[in-house]
A and B are shown apart, each in its own frame.
Chain A
């Protein structure tokens, strides 16, 4: 069976090579049949990699430990859904998983566009094939998941060995979220390959700039959405499983996932500049290129051990391949840009600082600064070793000092940007748009100050969050009011109609609102409290409004693990509110211990209780309790973010012609409503 799997992989590799070579020849010689054949080959890779993945899963499901990879990551006692996710638990399998997800994207990109954009698609196909060749090279020749275990028998002959049982999945991965997090994150990472391919194709084929952006917009949103989910799930997993009370430590692997997200966000905004005003063409192309390269860098940071991290895979020999590929990609990008840069000249210039263009420019500037700071901080040990000979690393104080002000400025732009007009906003419009939200924000700040908030950044965050939320609500209200006054519907129906007529804009506002929620959740961390004590049965400790009483501790266990558990009763105002059961599990097969956090989460705060082990001196259980305000807002915000992105991807509904009876309110001779809603806000230039 393993021969079947590795053969399928090899065929996939050869098919991708064919897609690449035939694709290039087809372009150069303009032979349509060859181009079509190359496209079909590109799609066929999906089928072949699927066979390889199915084969590997077969080994997992049948507990066949003759494969070294299966033996290393699974065992008989593992529940079935974890056997499924063991596929991506290690280097070889996760690389195969990457190839598979990439091949799905490639298949759909080629299939859905098979009858469209004939001048563009051949280049897209070649670029995608090139990327696939790299990953399939790794799958076949560098890190094959199909290596069998062999040992020498008595006579010194190498024989296939089959282990009776495997080493089991890392217990930290035996958590439902960990089944979802890598697929989501990888769907983000691999997804950015599609806009990259289209950008490269547009550049090489000198394709009209706005068209390639229009085509890739939804693909980019899909990839960005998955990347957002992946990052948030990772943070949530760290919070729920690692038991240190936090969700983000600026660890290199965390940063690696954030980097393409940042540039992806910048790209999603700057494309609007190109669409509306023909500006930033060079910038957009490079933004996509850099996003893709950051995806490759991201996965290599995780896999090659180049920077030390709690999460990183052990050091391996795969580094040179990734960095070589990154180098090739960079060279190809530079060459393509240099050759065709004259086709990327801007149509317009920046007219005024108080314009939507300006806010987008600042948005991009600040996001790039954020990206650069994270990249610099993450790679600092590598850079300092190369330059100065000693390895210096920087930690959370560095990242937080730079990223917090950046994030707050971004929040400010989120409120201000959509209310500025293209080209130039009048002073009247400024006053009208920002008056009430500004007052609201400052009022919220005053309330917070009165409640005892004194730290600068949380106060600014509150003011800006309320400001932005109010500007978003005002946008919905203003547009809906126009619709409801025209066709008499109630305001809620009008909001629905408004949104469906311009899903990208209003879906985008929903996503902005989600970001406000996430920022509020993060701001709560300024007020975190925690307390750690030995608690014998009957002893208690207080945190915030709660009293935590240790009722009991016991040792439940099963085939998979042996556990120590505390039974905690939580009181508030003298009344018993809930029972919590924090645990520490020792997994038999791997010898690893895992903390099971007992977390009671409400929108106001999380009561997060950890069984921190036994005190070495007294053998009593040590309980560590945290009170983390507002954390739930982050996860809620994440859900709203996904919904907003899905909304933004739905095609606009064309407004219907509304014919009125003579008895209704007179129209005063207005023309039929057009799809674009223009409100009472006076702006120059066209409305989005």
Chain B
């Protein structure tokens, strides 16, 4: 049984090391997900977390200024001003009415500073209901 025990010890060391690495990686990259409606209710430490918020880009609000891109994200009637400060170009799919996911931090004034923006092209993969031709720029919020 000596070999088996050695193997188990070896495995234990490997697993423990990986768990430690995983924990470090987790703390370095953990991002909370919040909806726009939840944001006003956050307080204390949760206010300063790195977070992700999703919504739709309100048409006509995309504005480029001083190297930043500002726009308004809305979901379920609530709106959030976002300022994208990253250096990567915005994704090709980012435009009016696109479904977008922003990652960054909430500012004290209630606006959001985004370091990353992901945008999904309006759904091409939904089952198109009979009675409506599936449109490309159609409402992305069908559930």
Contact = CB atoms under 8 A, between A and B. Distances in A.
Interface string B12-23: 001101100110
Interface string A344-370: 000001111101001001100110010
B29 A89 contact: no
A682 B24 CA distance: 44
A395 B30 CA distance: 7
A579 interface: no
A314 B128 CA distance: 12
A534 to B, nearest CB: 11
Contact of A402 (B18, B54, B135): B18
B126 interface: yes
B26 A398 contact: yes
Contact of A594 (B15, B30, B92): B92
B79 interface: no
- Return the 8 tightest CB-CB contacts between A and B, nearest first: A616-B64, A401-B25, A313-B125, A314-B123, A391-B33, A398-B25, A72-B134, A612-B89
Nearest to B119: A310
Contacts of A91: 125-127
Interface of B: 1, 3-4, 6-7, 10-11, 14-15, 17-18, 21-22, 24-26, 28-34, 52, 54, 64-67, 69, 87-93, 95, 101, 118, 120-121, 123-128, 130-137, 140, 142-143
A447 to B, nearest CB: 28
Given A143-B127, A151-B131, A397-B28, A405 B21 contact: yes
A373 B124 contact: no
A369 B18 contact: yes
Nearest to A352: B3
B136 A308 contact: no
A5 to B, nearest CB: 16
Nearest to A308: B101
A397 B29 contact: yes
B130 A68 contact: yes
Interface string A586-597: 000111111100
A616 B137 CA distance: 24
Given A150-B130, A314-B140, A358 B3 contact: yes
Range, interface on chain A: 35 or more
Contact of B133 (A149, A397, A409, A590): A149
A68 B128 contact: yes
Contacts of B101: 308
Nearest to A624: B89
A170 interface: yes
Contacts of B120: 310, 314
A73 B133 CA distance: 11
Given A317-B143, A616-B64, 14 more contacts: A72-B133, A149-B133, A314-B126, A316-B126, A358-B3, A365-B11, A376-B22, A393-B30, A394-B25, A401-B21, A401-B24, A584-B92, A592-B136, A617-B67
Contacts of B18: 369, 373, 402, 405-406
B7 A353 contact: yes
Contacts of B121: 170, 172, 590, 592
Given A395-B29, A398-B26, A617 B130 contact: no
Contact of A532 (B14, B87, B127): B87
Given A393-B52, A401-B21, A149 B130 contact: yes
A283 interface: no
A244 interface: yes
B64 A398 contact: no
B124 A402 contact: no
A564 interface: no
Contacts of A72: 124, 128, 133-134
B128 A369 contact: no
Contacts of A358: 3, 7
A468 B51 CA distance: 42
A107 B49 CA distance: 54
A68 B138 CA distance: 14
A400 interface: yes
A539 to B, nearest CB: 18
A596 to B, nearest CB: 11
Nearest to A65: B133
